[in-house]
Structure 1
């Protein structure tokens, strides 16, 4: 293979990005001199989700990787209602405090996740002592108390909040959650109002999956306009970015970036991962955590490792996605991966317990995969 026509770049990046054959020696050399956050420092923040195990029982290799590669972070589960506020009047801030302490120590931009979500929400929130649905006023009071307490505790430290998460159906209509059924149409407005009052300086975002979907996109645009028309603060739309080798059409992703940016808010990709696995026929693409299917071996083809063909496809998919990000970097404030390495991704067990997935840039030993070098090469 003749390479004389190629522009002169480092031997390391040539071998990684063009030949797709990085030796361990070259990979280690590159990894020691450059990082994602350094490469993209003039484009957008590069983030990761941090799980409870890492917060409460830190693994040195993971800590080192986060410190080196990322300048933004989100707690994977430990600020969700079931973890931080499991019982009436009872808050558990242990893991959330660890998250904030670690992020502050390492100058990492923090996003609190999440204040209002239909999932991972204890039943007591919506019920009285007899198990009956509470009134609108009672539920609004509980929501305000929760937001005042959680956001207030981290006021001035957590810079950004996913105020409302996944409030829409795929057709852009409001999800018929308990929140919506009890509070009604203005539940999103109230959540943003309370969050802004609790910390007037914090960035406030709406977050959801499948926001490339044109119908769902219209639903988000409606939410943004309603909040803006009411004079309420909304700073960004979080596109979760739970993608795969087969879905979605990235043109839809790009169209959504453009549409959301035109409203004047920032766009952020908040939970990026790219599955290499095929979904069951009846599964919905996206990130509905309630989906659960029996394990099928034919849908778990990489239990002993990723094939070269699948790895090459993953490389190309990540390259295509980041090329879009870079075309719109003026409108994108953050790209956060949902997990740090393949060993800790939720994709391994969703929507089938026991599956092995490889959706991130670092493998199960926290070593950079070839997709990592592909993304770095875009900034060289």
Structure 2
């Protein structure tokens, strides 16, 4: 603890945007021998509306994910309508900055329009119709970015939170249990060289971990290639434990797949739900003052906890760098974070490495300095 306090007192208060002091490494440089480090982007950061964030992204990261631009609803809102402009700009940005580009996501039970599952009368479509729509969507979207997007979150959050069974969704209801295999098959056919991922939250929980292991084994038994499992790192200051997270890294690596931490953030705010580490966007609660305690700023004591938490997490990631390919923060600055509006709208959240004024927080400093110490 003393060592970390020294780090904090000697750390720079922030990074002056537009340049990095020679003694101040960036995230991508600090871990260049270990894994990619990236962030999820919104459209304002790509089209020039948030120029400071754009500069920060170029400076710090070597991989990017689209927060919403490539989800089914935004990119394919109607049966015969595609909206590719935002996604095209996203991919062009990644190419211009020599970044490893991620596609997120091809199959999910959220943010998928109703028309995908219904006929003109509003009744459920047949398995054959839904398979055709799925294949057409994946072939069109993945095919458009063939050779440009390096990896795809093919399937997102398909395992139930409680028992580790397949989540009861329209995909499962209409297609049956081979829905996952079909999505991976179509994605591989559309771009044989792209990495293909399964992505989910709360994978530190033994029940959910076992459910994912069962799913991946079933895909492998069908000859379906899964490159990596994406562990969404929506964590708290204390939960889950480092030991719980590590147990899943080890268990997944035994499947012969790699691991990505795909949506990393650390929630410092109290939650109305007792569940830890979740990311079910259907959970929402009414605003209450006790759940938004840091509107005037984060107390030093909590800032220290956040700093320690990030240092511990990145020490774990570095330890398992042989099987970890990518760490992606879910947002660039605290102002961008989805946690400002989930599970309660309008809160002041502080879950990332950069603050609302684009400054590097003490947590950033502890992460890059920990990387420097590890490399000695």
TM-score (norm 2): 0.94
Higher mean C-alpha displacement, 280-289 vs 78-87: 280-289
**Can you list the C-alpha shifts for 1:123-149, whole angstroms capped at 9, x where unaligned?**
000000000000111111100000000
Which residue number in structure 2 is paired with residue 312 of structure 1? 304
**Can you list the C-alpha shifts for 1:257-311, whole angstroms capped at 9, x where unaligned?**
0010111111000000001011103666410011110011011001111110110
Which residue number in structure 2 is paired with residue 356 of structure 1? 348
Task: For residue 32 of structure 1, report the CA deviation from its aligned partner.
Answer: 2.4
Q: Do the aligned partners of 1:17 and 1:373 also contact (CA within 8 Å) in 2?
A: no
Which residue number in structure 2 is paired with residue 231 of structure 1? 223
Which residue number in structure 2 is paired with residue 11 of structure 1? none
Which residue number in structure 2 is paired with residue 10 of structure 1? none
Q: Do the aligned partners of 1:271 and 1:338 also contact (CA within 8 Å) in 2?
A: yes
Which residue number in structure 1 is paired with residue 266 of structure 2? 274
Q: Does 1:167 align with 2:158?
A: yes
Q: Do the aligned partners of 1:168 and 1:219 also contact (CA within 8 Å) in 2?
A: yes
**Can you list the C-alpha shifts for 1:173-209, whole angstroms capped at 9, x where unaligned?**
0000111111010000000000000000000000000
Which residue number in structure 2 is paired with residue 52 of structure 1? 43
Task: For residue 17 of structure 1, report the CA deviation from its aligned partner.
Answer: 6.2
What CA distance in whole angstroms lies between the structure 1 residues aligned with 2:255 and 2:312? 25
| SS of equivalent residue, structure 1 residue 268 | strand
TM-score (norm 1): 0.93
| SS of equivalent residue, structure 2 residue 367 | helix
Structure 1 ranges of 4+ moved more than 3 A: 22-31, 281-285
| SS of equivalent residue, structure 1 residue 221 | helix
Task: For residue 53 of structure 1, report the CA deviation from its aligned partner.
Answer: 2.0
Q: Does 1:291 align with 2:283?
A: yes
What CA distance in whole angstroms lies between the structure 2 residues aligned with 1:280 and 1:134? 38
What CA distance in whole angstroms lies between the structure 1 residues aligned with 2:324 and 2:36? 9
Task: For residue 28 of structure 1, report the CA deviation from its aligned partner.
Answer: 4.8
Aligned CA distance change for structure 1 residues 40 and 288 (closer, same or farther; 3 Å): same
Q: Does 1:188 align with 2:180?
A: yes
Q: Do the aligned partners of 1:283 and 1:291 also contact (CA within 8 Å) in 2?
A: no
| SS of equivalent residue, structure 1 residue 182 | helix
Task: For residue 218 of structure 1, report the CA deviation from its aligned partner.
Answer: 0.6
Higher mean C-alpha displacement, 238-247 vs 147-156: 238-247
Q: Do the aligned partners of 2:154 and 2:184 also contact (CA within 8 Å) in 1?
A: yes
Aligned CA distance change for structure 1 residues 157 and 17 (closer, same or farther; 3 Å): farther
Aligned CA distance change for structure 1 residues 282 and 323 (closer, same or farther; 3 Å): closer
Task: For residue 31 of structure 1, report the CA deviation from its aligned partner.
Answer: 4.1
What CA distance in whole angstroms lies between the structure 2 residues aligned with 1:24 and 1:377? 11
> Which residue among 86, 92, 98 is the counterpart of 1:107?
98
Q: Do the aligned partners of 1:237 and 1:267 also contact (CA within 8 Å) in 2?
A: yes
> 5+ residue gaps in structure 1?
4-13
What CA distance in whole angstroms lies between the structure 2 residues aligned with 1:25 and 1:363? 11
Higher mean C-alpha displacement, 279-288 vs 346-355: 279-288
Task: For residue 26 of structure 1, report the CA deviation from its aligned partner.
Answer: 7.8
Q: What value does the CA root-mean-square deviation take over the aligned residues?
A: 1.8
What CA distance in whole angstroms lies between the structure 1 residues aligned with 2:223 and 2:188? 11
Q: Do the aligned partners of 1:17 and 1:377 also contact (CA within 8 Å) in 2?
A: no
What CA distance in whole angstroms lies between the structure 1 residues aligned with 2:13 and 2:265? 27
Task: For residue 326 of structure 1, report the CA deviation from its aligned partner.
Answer: 1.0
Aligned CA distance change for structure 1 residues 17 and 272 (closer, same or farther; 3 Å): same
What CA distance in whole angstroms lies between the structure 2 residues aligned with 1:26 and 1:303? 21
Q: Do the aligned partners of 1:22 and 1:370 also contact (CA within 8 Å) in 2?
A: no
| SS of equivalent residue, structure 2 residue 9 | coil
Q: Do the aligned partners of 2:334 and 2:352 also contact (CA within 8 Å) in 1?
A: yes
Higher mean C-alpha displacement, 44-53 vs 147-156: 44-53
Task: For residue 55 of structure 1, report the CA deviation from its aligned partner.
Answer: 2.4
Task: For residue 150 of structure 1, report the CA deviation from its aligned partner.
Answer: 0.1
Which residue number in structure 2 is paired with residue 260 of structure 1? 252
Which residue number in structure 2 is paired with residue 243 of structure 1? 235
Q: Does 1:343 align with 2:335?
A: yes
Which residue number in structure 1 is paired with residue 123 of structure 2? 132
Aligned positions, number:
367
Q: Does 1:20 align with 2:12?
A: no
